Amino acid sequence: MLTVVLSSCDAWLDVKPYDKMSQDELLSSEAGYMKLLNGIYIELNRDMLYGGAMSMEMIEIMGGAYVIGTNNSVWGNYADLAEYEYGTDYWRARFNETWNKAYSLILNCNLLLENLETTDVRFTGDNYKIIKGEALALRAMLHFDMLRLFGPVYSRNPEALSIPYYKVYSVVPNERLSASEVAAEITRDLHEARILLANDPVRTSGTMASAPSDGASSFMHYRNLRLNYYAVTALLARSGLYFGDNDAAYKYSTEVIEAAREVFPFVDRNLVSGSPDDPDRIFSSEVIFALTHSQRNTVFKGYFDPSRIPNYVFRMDNDLMSNVIYGGGATTGGSQDDYRYRVNWVATGANRYFYKYSDMVDSGSITNTMIPMIRLGEMYLIAAESRSSGLEAGVSYVNLLRAARGVSKLPTLTMETLQYEYIRELYGEGQLFFMYKRMFSPVIFSATASRNPQPSDAIFVVPLPSTETDN
């Protein structure tokens, strides 16, 4: 865990290989701090974090996103996870990996932050504040997701012991805090990060999703591939909703919505319905923060490509998809005219398969590397859910989102129809399990409601890894 030597490299983050650079070298120059920060972003793409487990694989199975069969020769250990059997040797090891990787990156955030406080390195312009702000936001985001995964159901037991919160560079195990104490630390870090990012160029120049023409460093470019000012604001909205602070959730989600008209506009319909052979499946202009994963298409082929049959392929239950999520009319708000259905679900034989992460024809496009972490549509749904005057007034936000998805307005909004909107908008992005846990509601994986798992701590509270409890 002590290592800061990260061997991956990624052109979009302007990272040069530095696997032989010592810690002292990394912390002795502005470029070194940039490399260390970029290395943390790159490591988020590991399979045990957002390159798989915490985005489109493990956490989505827990959120009922996929049909998981019972044939062990095909589905192997996934059958246990679909039954929420967290205690098997395989899944205990997998959760250990996720926990350990998250906390090792938190350790590196703290290494960077502590050295920033004492360094005599001279930083250019606002780079010091940007680097510090992003590192604080990364620390908060990683703790938040570990709390959402391993902590109690916050709405029911916020004072229960949860996870440790590390604010210093140390390998000495910290005491576990109550969930509310962790929530306070997360919120504090995000607020400080937002202040530090006040002069983030995303606020004046947009995402700048191209390299500088003069060949200079692209560290301040590709702002939607970093925890920029609006991404931190969006995290405050997401965490506020999770922690039951609807006023904060509404305040920050609507701030992002207002800014998005210029910075993160809704996807051009011509790039979706007008390009049937090469659609922008992730609606890239709307992505507030994404990781850049140079092997994303390999991930698609490993999890979703129907050519893998008879091996496992992740997809939604056909009946659920056709008759509920993208059917059901006014009852569920589903429509097969929905752009999210038309571009992300491709028919092969009797089934439809999930193509959000498949390559576009222009395989060199940055869009082909993006794994969305926070998107604009979620902000509309958070605003709808957290509006003080209730869902009756919140339906206006959902209908603005639906208009951008090519479907008609909902006359009213209920928590059930709101859940369906979350599923349509965030499917395959690692947020559905956390939605059900936050709402303490049944997990929707079948069109037959009686088959859907009822809420319980056994489902929603993943046991702490042995690497933590042994300490």
DSSP per position, 36-55: HHHHHHHHTTSTTTTTTTTT
pLDDT average, residue stretch 316-339: 92
Confidence at residue 17, expressed as pLDDT on a 0 to 100 scale: 39
Q: How far is CA 323 from CA 320, 332, 342, 402, in A?
A: 6, 9, 15, 18
Per-residue pLDDT band for 276 (boundaries 50, 70, 90) equals low
Of 428, 447, 443, the C-alpha closest to 322 is 447
**pLDDT (0 to 100) of residue 195:** 98
Q: Mean pLDDT across the stretch 412-427?
A: 96
pLDDT at 6 over 50: no
Q: How far is CA 387 from CA 128, 410, 434, in A?
A: 36, 17, 20
Please, which pLDDT band fits residue 24 given cuts at 50, 70 and 90? confident
Stretch among 170-174, 215-219, 280-284 having the lowest mean pLDDT = 215-219
Average pLDDT, the chain: 91
Among 86-95, 201-210, 405-414, 429-438, the minimum mean pLDDT is found in 201-210
**Do 251 and 388 touch, CB atoms closer than 8 A?**
no
| Domains of the chain by residue range | 11-209+216-469
Structure tokens at 17: 């290989």
Tokens standing for residue 73:
């020769």
Domain 11-209+216-469: which topology? 1.25.40
Confirm if 210 and 225 have CB atoms less than 8 A apart. Answer: no
Residue 8 has pLDDT above 90, yes or no: no
Q: What's the DSSP call for residue 1?
A: -
Helices H / strands E in the chain, number of each:
20, 4
Contact between 446 and 139 (Cβ < 8 Å): no
pLDDT of residue 103 exceeding 80: yes
Could you tell me the pLDDT band of residue 13, with boundaries at 50, 70 and 90? very low
Reported confidence tier of residue 3, pLDDT bands at 50, 70, 90: very low
**pLDDT (mean) for 428-456:** 95
430 neighbors 55 (Cβ within 8 angstroms): yes
Question: Residue 251, SS3?
Answer: helix
> What is the token pair recorded at 164?
């440790």
Contact 336/326 with Cβ under 8 angstroms? yes
Instruction: Decide if 203 contacts 229 (C-beta within 8 A).
Output: yes
Residues 6+ apart with CB under 8 A from 303: 52, 56, 57, 313, 314
Does the structure show a pLDDT above 60 at 214? yes
Q: Say if residue 190's pLDDT is above 90.
A: yes
What letter would DSSP give residue 464? P
Residue, of 313 and 362, whose pLDDT is higher: 313
Give the torsion through C-alpha atoms of 244, 249, 251, 255, to 10 deg. Answer: 170
Question: What is residue 267's predicted lDDT score, i.e. its pLDDT?
Answer: 93
- What distance in Å separates the CA atoms of residue 363 and residue 161, rounded to the nearest whole number? 46
Average pLDDT over residues 334-342: 94
pLDDT score of 2: 37
Contacts 24+ apart (CB under 8 A), 36-39: 36/4, 36/108, 36/111, 36/112, 37/112, 37/131, 37/134, 37/135, 38/10, 38/13, 38/14, 38/219, 39/4, 39/6, 39/8, 39/15, 39/108
pLDDT at 274: 65
Q: Which two tokens stand for residue 421?
A: 């909107």
Q: What is the pLDDT of residues 113-157, one digit of tens each?
A: 999 999 999 999 999 999 999 999 999 999 999 999 999 999 999
Distance of CA 240 to the CA centre of its chain: 16
Widest pairwise Cα distance in the chain: 64
pLDDT band at 215; cut points 50, 70, 90: low
Contact status, residue 353 vs residue 344, Cβ threshold 8 Å: no
Percent of the chain with pLDDT over 70: 93
Helices (H), 44-158: 58-62, 72-75, 78-82, 89-118, 127-150
Output the six-digit token pair for 196: 């530090």
Q: What is the DSSP letter of 361?
A: S
The model's confidence at residue 217, banded by pLDDT at 50, 70 and 90, is: confident
In this prediction, residue 5 carries a pLDDT of 38
Report whether pLDDT(67) > 50. Answer: yes
- Please give the backbone phi and psi of residue 296, each rounded to the nearest 5 degrees, phi first: -60, -40
Provide CB contacts within 8 A for 427, sequence distance 6+: 60, 65, 316, 340, 344, 354, 356
**pLDDT-based confidence at residue 11 (cuts at 50, 70, 90):** very low
Cα-Cα-Cα-Cα dihedral sign, residues 137, 370, 335, 409:
positive
Is-contact 304 315, C-beta < 8 A? yes
pLDDT tens for each residue of 221-266: 889 999 999 999 999 999 999 999 999 999 999 999 999 989 999 9
Separation between Cα atoms, residue 342 and residue 344, nearest integer Å: 6
pLDDT in the model for residue 454: 96
CA distance 231 to 233: 5
Torsion of CA 31, 165, 45, 368, to 10 degrees: -90
DSSP 12: G
pLDDT at 275: 64
